[in-house]
Every structure is written in structure tokens, then in C-alpha cells.
A and B are shown apart, each in its own frame.
Chain A
Amino acid sequence: MTLVAIPWIVLFLPLLAAALITLFTWQDRKLSAGLSIAAVITGFVLTLLYVGLTGWHTTRESVLTWLAIGDFQVDFGLRLDSLSTLMMLLVTGVASAIHVYSWGYMNEDPGFSRFFAYLSLFTTSMLGIVLANNFVELFIFWELVGVSSYLLVGFWFERPAAADAGKKAFLTNRIGDFGFLLGILTVWSTLGSLNFSVLQQKLLADPQALGGLATAAGLLIFCGAVGKSAQFPLHVWLPDAMEGPTPVSALIHAATMVAAGVYMLCRVFFLLNNPALEVISWVGGFTALFSALIAVQQNDIKRILAYSTLSQLGYMVMGVGLHGPKEAMFHLSTHAFFKALLFLGAGSVILALHHEQDIWKMGGLRKKMPVTYWTFLVGTLALAGVVPFSGFYSKDAILGLAADQHAYGRFALGVVVAVLTTFYMFRLVFVAFGGAVRSDAAGHAHESPPVILFPLRILAFFSVIGGVIGIENVYAAHVYAAQFPPGQSLSLLQQIVGPFAEAPLAASLGLLAVAVGFFAAYSLYANATKDPLPEKLGALALWMRNRFYVDELYEATFIRLHDCLAAIADWIDRWLIAGVAVRGVHGTTEIIGRTLRELQTGNLQTYAFLFALGVALLLLFMLR
């Protein structure tokens, strides 16, 4: 067995588990869940083994020809380089924690086995995106992620809100995917290949190979990321996806699905030219600010985190747009840890409060749920970007990038978003965990079982150290392998203070932002019993609470327009096609038939007479 078999196994193990659960073991809850958990943990261990055996910096491809049509050949291949290996480790690692957590969280649910089957399918799909070596394969797994997210978001399909959220997620993604597919076709028609390494070589050999279509192709491919990574204007599905069970939210928001968009942009970074990157970074920056503002006035604990994810994704996309796939991936990795942690922490709270999600009905949970509180606080500090938690380093990397390129507009955006991030996260912590108990449910809350706390501890550990364990260097090797030798190793202390030495402006402004956000949140929410902001901000707070009415806007424009088109199509179908065309033909035939039927009297002698008459007429005609 060669080394390259390992990633194949990692990729297909969860799929196998999903198939086994669906086909055979779904009646046995524990066995099903065990299969699924074992598959993903084995995947994680095997990935570690692979990394241990080959190191980070080996680039391999393992290719099977899948279909060949004339000159056009589609491979099913795995591309293993530092980018995909680290991402694989991240996906299997975070997914493992979430799988274990789901055992505790979903324990009461009748659909326990089904849930694990879906989770496994999701994991395979995501790993497929990570490992794909060409666009077609990537797109297939991309759609599989869409399907499995639909299944998971709509997991409690008997609730209309959940079913609708599933549909919304799927359809919104389809819009982005349409552009993505056009982008793929553009690339294929101009460069004649879909394989990433072939494309990269072609573009290295001739940077103008895409010609006038370069920007269009880049932006169309970015459309896919806009859908999957929920960037403005296709961000609307992500907050609604909170209708799914909390572990699903954690999985979708942390290492999979939304990360897929950013990952894909980094994978095909060589295809994106400067104008396209400019647009990408502004879209990302705008999304970051926009959703951070919304997050400030949300009251549902999961929705706050959802908008926070949107905002952080905006950060990552902005990082890609600022020529920094390395920084974007770095932030993605650290974000995966602390966002999974925050979601699982929120899930622990929700479970303890019997599915109460309004933070104003919590309060005082700090003493009742100490482990959840402390891990949640770690996640918050990491997300806010406090030294030396992981979020600081990755966020600083992106800010530093903006400062380096003198993109001060986007730098300012980043800093403002950092202030808002700290503000809304500490608002959440103060209101939910601090202060007085504000409801019966919160009064009776007690700490969650160990199976839930264990993943929290693990993730909290990585949220703390994620910034200084060299994730960045692995990505750097991927992106800049041509220019630089593999990164020289720095001591831990150097790593911790590194940002201050390299980009003092970004680092200090980032920290200042955290301080401003924290004190604002402290002064407003430390002992608040209701939200003081609506009175101070007035209409703005209302707009923020109502998500700037984007959903309503879409409802009034696109959905209305779509309904009109559907009504017109329905009218055409009902009256023109079914009416005139189908019924017309059938009606004419029937009328003719009814008329002709009158000739069939059933009287033999009439027939005989007509027959004779016919013969006579014929004779007359012939003999004349």
C-alpha cells in the first residue's frame, strides 16, 4: 500500500459510514453514531499519519481517469499539497470534535442515526472539495456540500421554518453556483483544461492566456464563493441556516461549507487578476462591516454567531482580495477552531436552557455552567483578537496586508469591524453569562455532560494556541514556494510578539479596537437588563435589528419578480400549452370523430346501400 492510498481512504470512509448507516444500521442508534464518529476520527488519525510520514511540503497528485469525451478528459484525482493537507487535517479534526459533541447534543432526537448519516455525507463532500484536483470534481463535491447542507439545515423538517431555511440555503447557493459554472466553462473554453496544476502552468507560461476574459472568469468563479461563503448579496441564507441543529451550525460555520468558498478562492488564486481581486476584497470588506453591524442588534445567541461568521468570512475574502491567500487561509483555520468552539458552547447553553435561544432570557450562567463559560470566553477572546489568542494573529495578518498595500480604506474597514466584533461578542457574554438570572429556564440550568464538554476543551485549547503553532508557515510554503525557501523556524516568544515587530500599526490598532469594543460593551451591558442601544441609536438600531431589511428587499423585488414570472409561465402552460396546443388537438379530433360517428348507423342495409352507391359512383367515374 502506498502512501497516497491514505487520503483516498480518508475521503471515502465517511461516505462508507453514511452508506452503511442508511442501508443497514439505522435502527441501531448507538452503532450508527459509532460508525460515523469512528469514520471521521479514523480519518483524522490517518491524516495525521500521512502528514507525519510525508511532511507538509510534498506535492502529490493521484489521478484516476473518470471520463473521456474526445480530447476532453475529466479526472477524479486528489491533489495533495500543503494547502489541502492542512485543510484536510482541519476538516477532519473539527468534524471529529463536532461528531463527538453531537452524540451528546442529539441524544434525545428520534432522527439520531439519520443525523449521523448526513454528517458523514457532509464530511465526505467537504473533503472532496479540499482534495479535488480539477474544477469538475470540485464542482461535484461543491454541489454535494450544498445537498448535504440542505439535508442538515432542514433536519427538523417537520418545522416549516427549518424546511424553508434548508430550501433557502440550497437555492441561494444555486444562484452563486450558476456563476461558478459559467466561470469554469469560461476557463475551460479559453485554456482548454480544468486541472489546477495544468492551468497554473499555462498561466505561469503566459499570464495573458485568459485574454480579455480574465476579469470576467475571475469574478464568475468568485460568484461560487459568494454563494457558498455567504458574501453580500447572497449572505441571506446563512443566518436562516441556524434553524438546523447546533452541531450542524458549528460544522457549516467552522471548517466546512462556508470555508469552502474561501478555500476554493485560494486554490484557484492564480486565476484571479488584479481587477477581480480588487472587487473581491471590497465585497469581502463590505460584508464584514455590514454583518458586524447586524450582529450588534441580534438577540438570538445563534444568530449573533451566524452574523459574526459572515463578518469573519468577509475578512477572509478581503484577505484573498488583498493578494493574501496565505493570510486568508490562516484566518480560516483559526476561525474554524474558535467559531466551532463558540457554536458548541452556544449549543451547550441552549441544551441546558431547554432550547431557549434569546440571550435576554439567560443571564447568570457563569456560575451555573463554568466550563461552558470559560471555554466560551476563550472563544470570544480569540474571535475578538486579544493577544495571544489565535484570532489576534490571523486578523492582524489581514490588517497588516491591507496596511502593506496602502489599502487604507479596507484597513479602516477591518479596524471598524474589529471594534464591532469585540463589542457584539462581549455584549453576548455579558448578557448571557453575566448579570442576574432573568428567566426560570436560566435559573434551573446546569452544566452539560462530559461528552459535550470534552470537545469544548479541545477546541478551546486550539483556539488559544492556533496562532502560534505555525499554521501560517504551512500555507506560506504553498503560496510562495517558488519565491522563498521553507520558512525558518521561530521561537515561541518570537512568534507571540511577531506581529508587533512586523506590522506595528496593524497590531496596535487591532488591539486598540479590541479595547474600545470591550469598554463600550462593558459600559452598556455589564449589568443591563434590557438593551440600551435602541434608545440611543433610534432608527439605526431598528435597521440593524431587522438585518437592514435585505430579506424584505429580496422578498419585494426578486421573489416578487420570480413569482410574476412563475405566474406567467403557469398561465402559458395552463392556457397556451395545455389549453390551445394539447386540448386543441384533442378537441378537434374528438369533434371530427363525433361527426363521423353519425355515419355509423349500425344498420347493415344502409351500409350495403352506401357501398353499392360508392361502387356505382366509381364505375361512373372510371367508365366515363
Chain B
Amino acid sequence: MNVGIEHYLTVSIILFCLGLLGVVVRRNLLVIYMGLELMLNAANLALVAFSRFNNDLDGQVFVFFIITVAAAEVSVGLALIVALYRKRRTAHVEDLTLMKL
């Protein structure tokens, strides 16, 4: 079987949809966060695939940046979640409805 760009993109879409599904339906903040990371990596995969098949390294450079920024973002996000958990003793979105009218 010859692996072409369609396969990469299909995997990427599946990953993205799984991540989105996690974000939309799960109630635990940490899991939602993992879903977000999954979506991010789906995008990374698509970029790398495009880069490979277009013989252009720009996409891969992009991916490096995304990984770096994502790492920083994860640390900040996790810190926020931990702080929130300490304050509210919960990490469930149903309980975090302060903004609701």
C-alpha cells in the first residue's frame, strides 16, 4: 500500500475530531485540555504532511514553533487549572459557572 497524503490527512482529521469531541462533551477540565492538545497535534500532523509532500520545509519549521508555544501554553494552562482546583476544589466545568447570569 502506497501511503499518500490522503492517509496523513485522514489521520489528522480523525485526531482533530476526536479532540474536538473531547473538548465538547467531557466535563473534566484536564480531559478538555488533553482534547485541545490532541487538536493541536492533529494540525501539526497535517502541516508536516503538507510539508513533506510539497517538498517545502516551511511547514516543519511552523510545527517546531507550534510545539514550543504549545509547551509554554500547556504549562500556563495547567498552572491555571491547578490554581483553580486549589481554590474551588473542583475541576468540573459544571461547577465553574461564575460568568453565567
A612 close to B97 (CB less than 8 A): no
- Quote the shortest CB–CB distance from B9 to chain A (angstroms): 14
Total A-B residue contacts, Cβ distance less than 8 Å: 22
B101 close to A605 (CB less than 8 A): no
User: Within the assembled complex, what's the spacing in Å between the Cα atoms of A600 and B99?
Assistant: 9
Q: Which of B7-42 contact A (CB under 8 A)?
A: 20, 23-25, 32
- Quote the shortest CB–CB distance from B31 to chain A (angstroms): 11
- Quote the shortest CB–CB distance from B26 to chain A (angstroms): 8
B99 close to A602 (CB less than 8 A): yes
Considering the complex, give the chain B residue whose CB is closest to the CB of A612: B20
- Complex interface bits, B87-101 against A, C-beta within 8 A gives 1, otherwise 0: 000000100010111
Report which of B20, B23, B93 forms a contact with A603, defined as CB distance below 8 A.
B93
B100 close to A601 (CB less than 8 A): yes
B100 close to A602 (CB less than 8 A): yes
- Complex interface bits, A578-618 against B, C-beta within 8 A gives 1, otherwise 0: 00000000000000000001001111110011001000000
User: When A603-B93, A604-B93 are in contact, do A609 and B24 touch as well, CB less than 8 Å?
Assistant: yes
A597 close to B24 (CB less than 8 A): no
Residues of A within 8 A of B20 (CB): 608, 612
- Quote the shortest CB–CB distance from A601 to chain B (angstroms): 7
B100 close to A605 (CB less than 8 A): no
B97 close to A602 (CB less than 8 A): yes
User: Within the assembled complex, what's the spacing in Å between the Cα atoms of A466 and B65?
Assistant: 110
User: Within the assembled complex, what's the spacing in Å between the Cα atoms of A601 and B97?
Assistant: 9
Residues of B within 8 A of A612 (CB): 20, 24
B101 close to A602 (CB less than 8 A): yes
Considering the complex, give the chain B residue whose CB is closest to the CB of A610: B24
Q: Which of A320-337 contact B (CB under 8 A)?
A: none
Q: Which of B43-61 contact A (CB under 8 A)?
A: none
Residues of A within 8 A of B97 (CB): 602-603
A600 close to B101 (CB less than 8 A): yes
Q: Which of A35-77 contact B (CB under 8 A)?
A: none
A605 close to B23 (CB less than 8 A): yes
Considering the complex, give the chain A residue whose CB is closest to the CB of B36: A608
A605 close to B25 (CB less than 8 A): yes
User: Within the assembled complex, what's the spacing in Å between the Cα atoms of A605 and B29?
Assistant: 10
A603 close to B100 (CB less than 8 A): yes
- Residue from the set B20, B24, B97 with the largest chain A CB neighbour count within 10 Å: B24
Residues of A within 8 A of B23 (CB): 605, 608
Considering the complex, give the chain B residue whose CB is closest to the CB of A616: B20
A608 close to B101 (CB less than 8 A): no
Residues of B within 8 A of A602 (CB): 97, 99-101
User: Within the assembled complex, what's the spacing in Å between the Cα atoms of A597 and B99?
Assistant: 13
Residues of A within 8 A of B101 (CB): 597, 600, 602
User: Within the assembled complex, what's the spacing in Å between the Cα atoms of A612 and B42?
Assistant: 15
Considering the complex, give the chain A residue whose CB is closest to the CB of B24: A609
Residues of A within 8 A of B93 (CB): 603-605
User: Within the assembled complex, what's the spacing in Å between the Cα atoms of A600 and B20?
Assistant: 20
User: Within the assembled complex, what's the spacing in Å between the Cα atoms of A609 and B25?
Assistant: 9
Residues of B within 8 A of A601 (CB): 100
User: Within the assembled complex, what's the spacing in Å between the Cα atoms of A603 and B101?
Assistant: 11
User: Within the assembled complex, what's the spacing in Å between the Cα atoms of A154 and B24?
Assistant: 78
Residues of A within 8 A of B24 (CB): 605, 608-609, 612
Residues of B within 8 A of A605 (CB): 23-25, 32, 93
User: Within the assembled complex, what's the spacing in Å between the Cα atoms of A608 and B93?
Assistant: 13
- Quote the shortest CB–CB distance from B20 to chain A (angstroms): 5
Q: Which of B66-92 contact A (CB under 8 A)?
A: none
User: Within the assembled complex, what's the spacing in Å between the Cα atoms of A603 and B25?
Assistant: 11
Residues of B within 8 A of A604 (CB): 93
Considering the complex, give the chain B residue whose CB is closest to the CB of A597: B101
Residues of A within 8 A of B32 (CB): 605
Considering the complex, give the chain B residue whose CB is closest to the CB of A615: B20
Considering the complex, give the chain B residue whose CB is closest to the CB of A602: B100
Residues of B within 8 A of A597 (CB): 101
User: Within the assembled complex, what's the spacing in Å between the Cα atoms of A597 and B100?
Assistant: 10
- Quote the shortest CB–CB distance from B37 to chain A (angstroms): 14
User: Within the assembled complex, what's the spacing in Å between the Cα atoms of A209 and B1?
Assistant: 111
- Quote the shortest CB–CB distance from A596 to chain B (angstroms): 12
- Quote the shortest CB–CB distance from A614 to chain B (angstroms): 13
Considering the complex, give the chain A residue whose CB is closest to the CB of B35: A608
User: Within the assembled complex, what's the spacing in Å between the Cα atoms of A608 and B39?
Assistant: 13
User: Within the assembled complex, what's the spacing in Å between the Cα atoms of A604 and B99?
Assistant: 10
User: Within the assembled complex, what's the spacing in Å between the Cα atoms of A61 and B99?
Assistant: 79
Considering the complex, give the chain B residue whose CB is closest to the CB of A608: B23
Residues of A within 8 A of B100 (CB): 601-603
User: Within the assembled complex, what's the spacing in Å between the Cα atoms of A45 and B97?
Assistant: 88
- Quote the shortest CB–CB distance from A617 to chain B (angstroms): 14
User: Within the assembled complex, what's the spacing in Å between the Cα atoms of A612 and B23?
Assistant: 10
- Quote the shortest CB–CB distance from A130 to chain B (angstroms): 73
User: Within the assembled complex, what's the spacing in Å between the Cα atoms of A604 and B97?
Assistant: 9
- Quote the shortest CB–CB distance from B41 to chain A (angstroms): 17
Considering the complex, give the chain A residue whose CB is closest to the CB of B25: A605
Q: Which of A343-361 contact B (CB under 8 A)?
A: none
Considering the complex, give the chain A residue whose CB is closest to the CB of B26: A605
Residues of A within 8 A of B99 (CB): 602
Q: Which of A250-266 contact B (CB under 8 A)?
A: none
- Quote the shortest CB–CB distance from B71 to chain A (angstroms): 22
Considering the complex, give the chain B residue whose CB is closest to the CB of A609: B24
- Quote the shortest CB–CB distance from A615 to chain B (angstroms): 10
- A selection of 22 A-B contacts at a CB cut-off of 8 Å is A597-B101, A600-B101, A601-B100, A602-B97, A602-B99, A602-B100, A602-B101, A603-B93, A603-B97, A603-B100, A604-B93, A605-B23, A605-B24, A605-B25, A605-B32, A605-B93, A608-B20, A608-B23, A608-B24, A609-B24, A612-B20, A612-B24
B residues apposed to A, CB below 8 Å: 20, 23-25, 32, 93, 97, 99-101
- Interface pairs A-B: 10 shortest CB-CB: A602-B100, A609-B24, A602-B99, A608-B23, A605-B24, A602-B97, A612-B20, A608-B24, A604-B93, A605-B93
Given contacts A603-B93, A605-B93, 20 further A-B contacts (CB under 8 A): A597-B101, A600-B101, A601-B100, A602-B97, A602-B99, A602-B100, A602-B101, A603-B97, A603-B100, A604-B93, A605-B23, A605-B24, A605-B25, A605-B32, A608-B20, A608-B23, A608-B24, A609-B24, A612-B20, A612-B24
